[in-house]
Amino acid sequence: MHLIPSQGPQETAPTSSLPPSAGERGLRYGLRDGACQAVTQGSGEQYLSAFALLLHASPFQLSVLSALPQLIGTGAQLVSVKLLQWFPNRKALISAGTFGQALAWIPIMLLPLLLPQWGPWLVVGGAAAYFACAHFTTPAWNSLIADWLDQHERGAYFARRAQIIASLSFFALCGAGWVLSVWQHSATWWGFVLIFSVAGSARILSVLALSPVQDVHPTAHREAQQGFRGFFRQRATKDFRRFLLFAGLMHIAVLIAGPFFVLYMLQDLHLSYFGYGGWLAAGLLGQLLTLQAWGQFGDRFGNKALLSITGFTVPFLPMLYLVSTNLGFLLAVNFLGGVIWAGLALGLQNYVFDSVRPEDRAKAIALYSTVNAVGWSAGALLGSWLVERLPSRIEWAGVILQPASNLPFVFFLSGVLRLLVSSSLLGTFHEARQVERIPRQQLLWELPLVKPVVQFVAWTLPKSNR
């Protein structure tokens, strides 16, 4: 075994100067907050597009619903980082943003009922307020939680938290889908009111879970006073800047397709809300089964290795929607998508933590989120343009492709662009910390789902030869 030389800043375990009980309370809060967030995501966030579609949203409005909240949320993150310099109480900032998220569900539910002619745009406005509050908490939250963790423990901890989110989101998704299906033909609106009320209540519980936590680490008081431009030019490494380019362009490619799966499932394939919820839940199940393994993989072999593997597999996911409209096939594709996206999202998040100094973390997270939001918005708007212009039937060399709509062609193009981004940029940045290095072929056998299958086959083969 060999260690890859460190390409980024080194740090000591941040928890050494803290009372053990304070660190334990902080990490427990992170997991409880994840549980509350899971309920909000599964019963609220995941059904915002379906709610807009109920109000007769157009493809352009769906793309704006996906893009605008991210852009506004980015501004909220930048404001949050500045506030950390003047008002270094991370706990208060997190509480304010989380409580704002809970309140934002009220206009999302009520305003479209009062002014139905403006329904889709009112949902966009309410979602923008909700995600602005969510993004406002992000730099302080990540900075706070990262202070409790050693650099070699982050992958396992965040994988555990993501596993909690995936498992509870799975049940929340299925439950919300069942509620909407029961009332689909009589009182669908009140079904949405019920599930969105549950989503808002979960954020209130998250504020209560934060109350016993103490913000005692000095990082909050020494966030680098340098501006974003100075940080990017002087303190950010070349690898981190190239990583940001990869993340931003990948978000453009992904969001060309992202906002329109709900349109394809509910309008083109005429799935019920329960069927749509099941499709979403299949992706969460894939995450749930592999997150812990992805976290261990990233801690052991590095987040760059994790990004390289998932970055070259995620392009093929949207291409598969050209193959079949069978519900079982669609569930299998989204399950596989959950497996791959679990690793990619974990690698992206943890690479940021590895690449910057603790005092620059909040700024780096905000910069990373800004780049992603710009890419997210550009991709969503480009996708809506393609939906309006791509044909729904292609004939070439005697082969005719005529899916349920032109959306599978948009999905396929998204996959092609993802592949171009990965092939051109993944080789331009390196691992940011010392990790175990093994041959590439052996690395593939360590992948989630692959390793247990190989071990099971190796265990059964000797018995079969007896």
4 closest CA partner among 345, 443, 386: 443
Percent of the chain with pLDDT over 70: 82
**pLDDT value of position 317:** 94
**pLDDT value of position 103:** 94
pLDDT tens digits along 447-457: 776 665 555 45
pLDDT, average across residues 281-285: 88
**pLDDT value of position 169:** 85
Whether the per-residue pLDDT at 244 is higher than 70: the answer is: yes
Question: Is 459 inside any structural domain?
Answer: no
pLDDT tens digits along 205-218: 998 888 777 666 54
Residue 395 DSSP code: E
Question: Is 444 inside any structural domain?
Answer: no
**pLDDT value of position 457:** 53
**pLDDT value of position 369:** 82
pLDDT, average across residues 35-43: 90
Asked if 30 contacts 145 with a C-beta cutoff of 8 angstroms, the reply is yes
Asked if 169 contacts 45 with a C-beta cutoff of 8 angstroms, the reply is no
Question: Is 95 inside any structural domain?
Answer: yes
Whether the per-residue pLDDT at 331 is higher than 80: the answer is: yes
Q: What are the Cα distances from residue 412, in Å, to 269, 318, 405?
A: 17, 6, 13
Residue 239 is part of which domain span? 22-435
Does residue 263 or residue 143 have the better pLDDT? 263
pLDDT tens digits along 345-396: 989 988 888 887 777 777 787 788 888 888 988 999 999 999 999 988 887 7
**pLDDT value of position 458:** 54
Question: Is 209 inside any structural domain?
Answer: yes
Whether the per-residue pLDDT at 229 is higher than 70: the answer is: no
pLDDT, average across residues 56-85: 84
187, two tokens: 């009182």
pTM of the entire predicted model: 0.74
Kindly report which listed range (49-58, 137-146, 282-291) carries the lowest average pLDDT score: 137-146
Strand partners, 399: 396
**pLDDT value of position 190:** 87
Q: What average pLDDT does the structure give for the chain?
A: 81
Question: Is 156 inside any structural domain?
Answer: yes
Question: Is 2 inside any structural domain?
Answer: no
**pLDDT value of position 22:** 57
Asked if 62 contacts 260 with a C-beta cutoff of 8 angstroms, the reply is yes
Q: How far apart are CA 434 and CA 6, in angstroms?
A: 5
Question: Is 75 inside any structural domain?
Answer: yes
Question: Is 126 inside any structural domain?
Answer: yes
Domain count, the chain: 1
**pLDDT value of position 16:** 42
CATH code (residue 206): 1.20.1250.20
Confidence of residue 243 (pLDDT cuts 50, 70, 90): very high
Q: Determine the residue type at 82.
A: K
Whether the per-residue pLDDT at 17 is higher than 50: the answer is: no
Confidence of residue 18 (pLDDT cuts 50, 70, 90): very low
Does residue 226 or residue 328 have the better pLDDT? 328
Whether the per-residue pLDDT at 20 is higher than 60: the answer is: no
Kindly report which listed range (85-89, 90-94, 219-223) carries the lowest average pLDDT score: 219-223
pLDDT, average across residues 35-54: 90
pLDDT, average across residues 405-421: 95
| DSSP for 149-216, written as a single string | S-TTTHHHHHHHHHHHHHHHHHHHHHHHHHHHHHTTTT-HHHHHHHHHHHHHHHHHHHHHHHTT----
Q: How far apart are CA 254 and CA 344, in angstroms?
A: 12
**pLDDT value of position 14:** 41
Whether the per-residue pLDDT at 39 is higher than 50: the answer is: yes
**pLDDT value of position 201:** 93
pLDDT, average across residues 21-36: 77
Residue 11 DSSP code: -
pLDDT, average across residues 25-41: 84
pLDDT tens digits along 148-198: 776 666 667 877 887 788 788 888 988 888 888 887 766 788 889 999 999
pLDDT, average across residues 271-283: 89
Helices (H), 44-153: 48-54, 59-86, 90-114, 119-146
37 closest CA partner among 140, 111, 131: 131
Does residue 233 or residue 92 have the better pLDDT? 92
Whether the per-residue pLDDT at 415 is higher than 90: the answer is: yes
**pLDDT value of position 379:** 93
